[in-house]
Every structure is written in structure tokens, then in C-alpha cells.
Amino acid sequence: MANDAYSKLMELYSEYSALGQVELLMGWDLETYMPQGAAEMRGVQSSVVGAMRHRMITSRKVKGLLREASRSKGLTEVQRSSLRWLKREHERKTSIPETLVKDMAKLEPLSTRAWIKARNENDFKVFLPLLEKVFELRSKMAEHLGYSKTPYDALLEDFEPGMASSRAANILKGLRSSLVPIVRTIADKGEPPDESVVRKGYGEKGQFDFGKRVLHDMGFDMEKGRIDTSAHPFTSGTYNDVRVTTRFDRKDLRSALFAFIHEGGHALYEQGLPKEHYGTPLGEAVSYGAHESQSRLWENQVGRSLPFWKHYAPILRKTFPNMKAVKLEQLYRAFNVVRPSFIRVEADELTYNLHIMVRFEIEKGAMEGKVDLNELPEVWDECYERYLGIRPPSVSQGCLQDIHWSMGLIGYFPTYSLGNLYAAQLMETARRELRDLDGSIEKGRFGPLLSWLRENVHSKGRLHRAEDLMKRVTGKPLGEEAFISYMKAKFSDVYGLAL
């Protein structure tokens, strides 16, 4: 009987999952090929499919089946884990009243529009009332979801399930105190790399072909995915239908290239999810942080490494004759410039995390009533001064630069930094467990690394929580040490400094 309830739940979840894939397709199409004039229709389509999915997972039928299934003895670890995720999804979705869901859906286009206007006009006041409304609704949501210590926990749970925000705060604090002096030293004493060597002008076709080749070499399966262009690079889809996008900057080689590799890392994760759990709660990526760990690992630890460019520099020179005279060392340095800057999405691997901390502290503070959104611009600028040693010249280049809050995405930012830390810890372990990892990367052979990630991360789906998985794989709880020693080693090398 109980097993019967379990299979009914799994059948139901497979439909829920299939509808989720349909949502992904609509989202992908919206960003790539959809005609401009179709925006309103797409909005209706999305809300209909979204409402159906919501009804599916919150139904009384699911509630009854969950009760029945959980009573059963003799469930396997897989079954227990599946039920846990499904129950969590059911309870979180059920706990939020429909009126609140609708209010948030109604607010999003308005707040996004206000944010765009405010940023264009460099006028924080245009955005403020909407921003306050966003935080107000998210606070209500947190109350409905419940939490033990801070309402921020309830929101973070959406992106990094099982991670308490106090834990995230501790980790990021440790990270910050190690990072700030490194950034200072480089800013004060480092000789800036010559970036002109990667700003020589590059045709789109060459950039596409080169990026596609790298993706192919990494192990991205083009039979089960595709590459397109969009205003902002992203990865969408799962399993046998994973689509990445990039965009081209004809002046700067780095823009498209590292987007390719970054999105490729996301894509490999999705293509590597466990086949036996496709369409079940376990057949999904375990957290946003874990997802970001895969993109960052490939983009930074692999794609910006010297061994990687030992292999690709000759191919790059063949693709772009204007790169003929550029030396390997020059490339490597140009791909690893560190420089405190105002804009997060343009930040380097090292300072990036400081951008995140500013946002994390502010959004957590605001949820806890410790940061007054009226004073956001001043709070923001002071944080930048403190962490990065620079002060944004305008709100557009300051607290209005990110779309996240306007979309209600509070609790998302820390997963970017957690991803960096996961990546470093994974790479440290892979380096220990695989024989001569750099040697294979130097030959353009990524098979050993990919197999290791497949086995240890991708194929686990959501069997364990993200941090438990990391601990199982790396033998250590999540911390900043691996990342810091990676940063020190790399930038000592790039800048010839003792960090």
C-alpha cells in the first residue's frame, strides 16, 4: 500500500518535472528566438503552466499520498530521500497563500520596470517604494514558510537548501577577512597585466567556433544540447536537452569565451544528472551553490589556468591570426587581471566575492530590520569603500546595478560565493585523487576531470544535501581555506608577489 503511494507520488512528480521542463523551454525561447511582440502571450502561457504546476504539487491528493507513503517501513535510502524532497516542495508551496503568490507575481513586472527606470535615470527614489514592497512581501513569505533564527533563512532555503544563514555568514566572514588584504596587496604592489593582448578585435564566427570546440572538448554533448546567443548568457534545460547561450564582444576575447566555459560547466552538471532518477525529486541539481561550483570550476580553475592555455594558445593563434605574436604568459596574465571595480558581473575571480558580501550583508540586514532601505545607497557605498577600497560614482554603478532584488530574488547572492568555495574544495580533492590532472589539461584531455565530477557530484543528483555531499566528497565541511590557498597560489604566480 505505502509503496503504492510512493509510486503514485513518483508518477505525479514525473508530470510535475515534465511541466517544469516545458517552463524551461518557454524561458529559453523568450531569451533567444521569441518575437518581441509575443511577450504578453508568453506571460499568459507561463502563468497558466505555472498555476497548473502549483496546483499539482499542492493538491490534497499529494498530501494524502505523502502521509501514506511516509508511514511505510522498509523504504530505501533513495526512497526516503525522494520523499523528503517532495514533502519539502509540497509544504513550502502549500504554506504560501495564493493571494501572496499572486501579489508577488503582479509586483515583479512593476518593480523590474521601476528598477530599469531608476538605473537609467540614476535615481534611487524611483525604485525605493517598489524595493520596499518587494522586501515586505518576501518578509511575509518568510513568516509563512517559517524559520528558526532569522527570516532570511526561509529565503536562502530556496537557493541553498539546508544551509542556515548564520553558517553562510560565518563562512563568508572568514573568506572576507582573508580576501581583503590580498586584494589590497595586489592593488598596491601588483603590476597590471597588459590587457591589450586580448582586445585586438575578433570576428563572431571565430569566437563561436573556438568556444564550441572548447565546449566539445570539455565533454558537452551536442546531441543533447545546443548553443545560441542571448543578451545575457545562461544555461537552460536538463538531462538530454541542455541549452547554453553566450554573447559576443567583438573587441574583447574574454567576454564570449569565459561565458562559454562558465555555461558549459552548468551544462555538464545537467547532462550528468543520474539517468535512473530522471523525472524524480532526486534527478535534479542539489543547490544553486553546487550548480555555481560547476560553472566556476570550469571557468576559473580550469579555463583561466596555465595548463589549459598551454593547450589552447596554439589553437587560438590559428583561429585568430592577430594573436600570433601573443605569448602564453601574456594570455594567462590577461585572463587573470585583478582590479577592484564597481560592477559585479565584470569582476575578477578574487574581488567577485567581495561584491557578493556587500549584497549578502545588506539583504540579510534588511530582512532582519537592521538595514533601512531608505539608506541603501549610503550603506552600499560604505561597504564598497571598506571591502574594495573604492566608492561608486553613482547609484547606477552602485546599488542599482543588479536585477535580482527587483525580481524578488533575495537569498540568491550568497550562492555565487558558496559556489566558488565548493569549486575550490572539489578541485583540491580532484587534484589529490587524480594522477597528474594538470598534465591531462595541458593535453586538452578533460575526460578524467569530468568523470570524477560525474561520479562524485553530477550522478548524485539530490541524494544528499549540498553540504553533506561536499563533505562526503572532500572529507571536509565547507570552508574558505581551499579557495584562499588557490587564490594565493594563482595570484602570487600571476603577479609575482608573495601573497
To the query of whether residue 263 is one of the catalytic residues in this protein, the response is yes
Taking the complex as a whole, how short is the minimal distance between the CB of residue 264 and a second copy, in angstroms? 15
Determine the interface stretch with a second copy among 18-26, 348-356, 403-411, 464-472 (rule: CB under 8 A).
18-26
Determine the interface stretch with a second copy among 30-38, 190-198, 310-318, 444-452 (rule: CB under 8 A).
30-38
Determine the interface stretch with a second copy among 32-40, 57-65, 427-435, 440-448 (rule: CB under 8 A).
32-40
Taking the complex as a whole, how short is the minimal distance between the CB of residue 297 and a second copy, in angstroms? 24
Nearer to a second copy, 266 or 355 (CB): 266
Q: Do residues 242 and 235 lie in contact, with contact meaning Cβ atoms separated by under 8 Å?
A: yes
Of the candidate residues 3, 4, 7, 38, the single one contacting a second copy (CB under 8 A):
38
Of the candidate residues 34, 75, 169, 497, the single one contacting a second copy (CB under 8 A):
34
Q: Does residue 31 bind a second copy (CB under 8 A)?
A: no
Q: What is the x/- site pattern for a second copy, positions 272-311, by CB under 8 A?
A: -------x--------------------------------
Q: Does residue 332 bind a second copy (CB under 8 A)?
A: no
Determine the interface stretch with a second copy among 40-48, 103-111, 257-265, 352-360 (rule: CB under 8 A).
40-48
Q: How many residues of this chain interact with a second copy, rule: CB under 8 A?
A: 35
Q: How long, in residues, is the chain?
A: 499
Nearer to a second copy, 77 or 223 (CB): 223
Nearer to a second copy, 52 or 489 (CB): 52
Taking the complex as a whole, how short is the minimal distance between the CB of residue 39 and a second copy, in angstroms? 8
HEC string of the chain equals: CHHHHHHHHHHHHHHHHHHHHHHHHHHHHHHHCCCHHHHHHHHHHHHHHHHHHHHHHHCHHHHHHHHHHHHCCCCCHHHHHHHHHHHHHHHHHHHCCHHHHHHHHHHHHHHHHHHHHHHHHCCHHHHHHHHHHHHHHHHHHHHHHCCCCCHHHHHHHHHCCCCCHHHHHHHHHHHHHHHHHHHHHHHHHCCCCCHHHHCCCCCHHHHHHHHHHHHHHHCCCHHHEEEEECCCCCEEEECCEEEEEECCCCCCHHHHHHHHHHHHHHHHHHHCCCHHHCCCCCCCCCCHHHHHHHHHHHHHHHCCCHHHHHHHHHHHHHHCHHHCCCCHHHHHHHCCCCCCCCCHHHCCCCCHHHHHHHHHHHHHHHHCCCCCHHHHHHHHHHHHHHHHCCCCCCCCCCCCCCCCHHHCCCCCCHHHHHHHHHHHHHHHHHHHHCCCHHHHHHCCCCHHHHHHHHHHCHHHCCCCCHHHHHHHHHCCCCCCHHHHHHHHHHHHHHHCCCC
Q: Does residue 180 bind a second copy (CB under 8 A)?
A: no
Taking the complex as a whole, how short is the minimal distance between the CB of residue 229 and a second copy, in angstroms? 13
Q: Does residue 29 bind a second copy (CB under 8 A)?
A: yes
Q: Does residue 12 bind a second copy (CB under 8 A)?
A: no
Q: Do residues 176 and 217 lie in contact, with contact meaning Cβ atoms separated by under 8 Å?
A: no
Taking the complex as a whole, how short is the minimal distance between the CB of residue 29 and a second copy, in angstroms? 6
Taking the complex as a whole, how short is the minimal distance between the CB of residue 230 and a second copy, in angstroms? 13
Taking the complex as a whole, how short is the minimal distance between the CB of residue 221 and a second copy, in angstroms? 7
Q: Residues 157, 160, 263, 292: which is the catalytic one?
A: 263
Determine the interface stretch with a second copy among 45-53, 208-216, 345-353, 417-425 (rule: CB under 8 A).
45-53
CA distances (Å), 284 to each of 23, 277, 433, 457, in order?
Answer: 15, 8, 26, 11
Instruction: Spell out a b/e string for 344-361, using b for 16 or more CB atoms within 10 Å of the CB, else e.
Output: beebbbbbbbbbbbbbbb
Nearer to a second copy, 15 or 136 (CB): 15
Q: Does residue 101 bind a second copy (CB under 8 A)?
A: no
Rounded Cα distance between 415 and 405, Å, is 15
Taking the complex as a whole, how short is the minimal distance between the CB of residue 24 and a second copy, in angstroms? 10
Rounded Cα distance between 159 and 349, Å, is 21
First to last CA, the chain: 63
Q: Which of residues 200-259 bind a second copy (CB under 8 A)?
A: 221-226, 228, 239-241, 243
Of the candidate residues 8, 45, 213, 409, the single one contacting a second copy (CB under 8 A):
45
Rounded Cα distance between 240 and 431, Å, is 29
Q: Does residue 13 bind a second copy (CB under 8 A)?
A: no
Of the candidate residues 3, 4, 18, 129, the single one contacting a second copy (CB under 8 A):
18
Q: Does residue 14 bind a second copy (CB under 8 A)?
A: yes
Q: Which of residues 47-66 bind a second copy (CB under 8 A)?
A: 48-49, 52
Nearer to a second copy, 29 or 368 (CB): 29
Taking the complex as a whole, how short is the minimal distance between the CB of residue 49 and a second copy, in angstroms? 6
- Residues forming the active site: 263
Binding site for a second copy (CB under 8 A): 14-15, 18-19, 21-22, 25-26, 29, 33-38, 40-42, 44-45, 48-49, 52, 221-226, 228, 239-241, 243, 279
